[in-house]
């Protein structure tokens, strides 16, 4: 079996959903999704000549070759890993289809029949769309969705958290995540000053309101986006301790794992990080030092589905659980679910598209009825490969201007 072609497509949603498709010499293809990055489709196309003529069944060999060829032949991090992760996932889809087995079978078989999803509820109540350098933009779907409504509204109060939690719990999710950094910091930058007592009180009130709105059976995690100095993060963690959080995410800047270890050592809240790390090597010190309680590899970025499985196994050896970060379309989300289904130490997988009106319509899943996520779970099926195809009739309506459609 030989690879004959690679092509890309981009959907302009809340982020760029970047797809890569790879064909073999029988005319079969697999599709993978990459985490967004500037110039990503150009990078993917630069990788095509390295793959044409190679055997797509040698997934790990090809991924390692691309790791080595990218980023100056010696880098263990960088956004070329976004490209390789999408290619690797496309190869698993192609090989699974070709062999007639689901991806999870190729990764050792599943530990569970459905994958628990946690719903990211952001903060505030505005719908957003971001370019690859996190510049805000207004594609046509967003303009229509917000027509007649007040403009971009930054509202962070307990009632909003309570209402949002109630709505999402009623939709069937039993795990939710809210941003708390935006309550005190709207600039997108690190907070270079101590928090006031009133600010921490407001954070606690907002999370307590979410807990109240969701009910006692729903897990609540909170995200800080690396915004606080360790001393501030510890003040927050202590105050959040009584709220029995699912986890406290990225409380400190990412550079120093000792900061996370200090927050974890308080024993007030489980601590999570890892969404921007690549390969096992990016996680190694964090995991061996037991600096966190959970790791959050992003499967469209970390190096591939098999590499995510290995990261999960590394974490398992230190009693650390895995809750993958995920801002992908349903196609990438389902690819992540295949890995989650195989991990004994899996906690929950993120869903970040609740504000995107067409998110659930982007995927066709033969043999199933209803949306991909049902009552907060993704049921796994026996369909080969990913077990789903991009609904191109829908997806193409949201194609990013200036990008080709699988050419």
Applying CB under 5 A, the residues found at the interface with Mg ion are 223
Handedness of CA 263, 267, 268, 270 (dihedral sign): positive
**Phi, psi dihedrals of residue 150, rounded to the nearest 5°:** -60, 150
CB–CB of 322/350 below 8 Å?
no
CB–CB of 179/122 below 8 Å?
yes
When the beta carbons of 227 and 365 are compared against Mg ion, the nearer one is 227
Residue 179 tokens read as 């941003």
**Phi, psi dihedrals of residue 5, rounded to the nearest 5°:** -160, 150
User: What is the distance between the alpha carbons of residues 280 and 313, in angstroms, rounded to a whole number?
Assistant: 10
When the beta carbons of 254 and 379 are compared against Mg ion, the nearer one is 254
When the beta carbons of 12 and 120 are compared against Mg ion, the nearer one is 120
Q: What does the radius of gyration of the chain's CA atoms come to, in whole angstroms?
A: 21
When the beta carbons of 6 and 180 are compared against Mg ion, the nearer one is 180
Taking CB atoms, the residue at the shortest distance from Mg ion is: 223
What is the closest distance, in whole angstroms, from the C-beta atom of residue 238 to Mg ion in the complex?
21
What is the closest distance, in whole angstroms, from the C-beta atom of residue 16 to Mg ion in the complex?
18
Handedness of CA 275, 371, 34, 337 (dihedral sign): positive
Half-sphere exposure of 19 (CA within 13 A, CB side): 33
What is the closest distance, in whole angstroms, from the C-beta atom of residue 321 to Mg ion in the complex?
16
What is the closest distance, in whole angstroms, from the C-beta atom of residue 249 to Mg ion in the complex?
5
When the beta carbons of 63 and 299 are compared against Mg ion, the nearer one is 299
3-state secondary structure of 111: coil
User: What is the distance between the alpha carbons of residues 103 and 384, in angstroms, rounded to a whole number?
Assistant: 7
What is the closest distance, in whole angstroms, from the C-beta atom of residue 37 to Mg ion in the complex?
17
When the beta carbons of 41 and 129 are compared against Mg ion, the nearer one is 129
When the beta carbons of 301 and 365 are compared against Mg ion, the nearer one is 301
What is the closest distance, in whole angstroms, from the C-beta atom of residue 282 to Mg ion in the complex?
16
What is the closest distance, in whole angstroms, from the C-beta atom of residue 379 to Mg ion in the complex?
26
CA angle (55, 57, 62) in 5-degree steps: 70
């Amino acid at each position: 079996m030989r690879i004959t072609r690679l092509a890309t497509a981009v959907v302009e949603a809340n982020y760029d959903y970047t797809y890569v498709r790879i064909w073999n010499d029988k005319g079969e293809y697999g599709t993978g999704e990459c985490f967004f990055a500037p110039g990503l489709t150009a990078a993917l196309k630069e990788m095509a000549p390295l793959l044409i003529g190679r055997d797509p069944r040698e997934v790990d060999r090809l991924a390692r070759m691309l790791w080595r060829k990218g980023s100056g032949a010696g880098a263990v991090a960088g956004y070329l890993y976004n490209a390789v992760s999408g290619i690797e996932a496309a190869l698993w889809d192609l090989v699974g289809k070709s062999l007639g087995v689901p991806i999870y079978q190729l990764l050792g078989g599943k530990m569970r029949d459905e994958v628990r999803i946690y719903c990211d509820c952001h903060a505030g109540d505005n719908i957003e769309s971001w370019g690859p350098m996190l510049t805000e933009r207004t594609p046509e779907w967003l303009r229509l969705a917000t027509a007649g409504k007040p403009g971009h509204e930054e509202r962070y109060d307990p009632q909003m958290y309570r209402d949002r939690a109630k709505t999402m719990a009623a939709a069937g999710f039993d795990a939710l995540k809210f941003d708390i950094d935006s309550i005190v910091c709207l600039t997108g930058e690190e907070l270079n000053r101590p928090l006031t007592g009133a600010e921490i009180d407001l954070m606690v009130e907002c999370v307590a309101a979410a807990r109240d709105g969701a009910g006692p059976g729903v897990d609540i995690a909170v995200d800080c986006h690396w915004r606080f100095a360790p001393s501030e993060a510890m003040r927050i963690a202590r105050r959040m301790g009584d709220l029995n959080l699912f986890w406290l995410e990225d409380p400190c800047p990412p550079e120093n794992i000792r900061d996370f270890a200090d927050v974890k050592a308080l024993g007030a809240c489980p601590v999570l990080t890892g969404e921007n790390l690549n390969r096992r090597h990016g996680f190694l010190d964090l995991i061996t030092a037991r600096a966190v309680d959970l790791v959050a590899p992003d499967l469209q970025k970390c190096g591939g589905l098999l590499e995510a499985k290995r990261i999960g196994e590394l974490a398992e050896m230190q009693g650390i659980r895995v809750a993958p970060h995920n801002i992908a379309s349903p196609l990438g989300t389902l690819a992540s679910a295949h890995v989650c289904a195989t991990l004994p130490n899996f906690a929950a997988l993120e869903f970040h598209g609740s504000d995107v009106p067409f998110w659930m319509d982007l995927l066709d899943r033969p043999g199933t009825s209803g949306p991909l996520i049902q009552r907060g779970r993704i049921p796994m099926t026996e369909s080969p490969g990913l077990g789903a195809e991009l609904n191109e009739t829908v997806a193409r309506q949201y194609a990013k201007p200036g990008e080709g459609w699988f050419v």
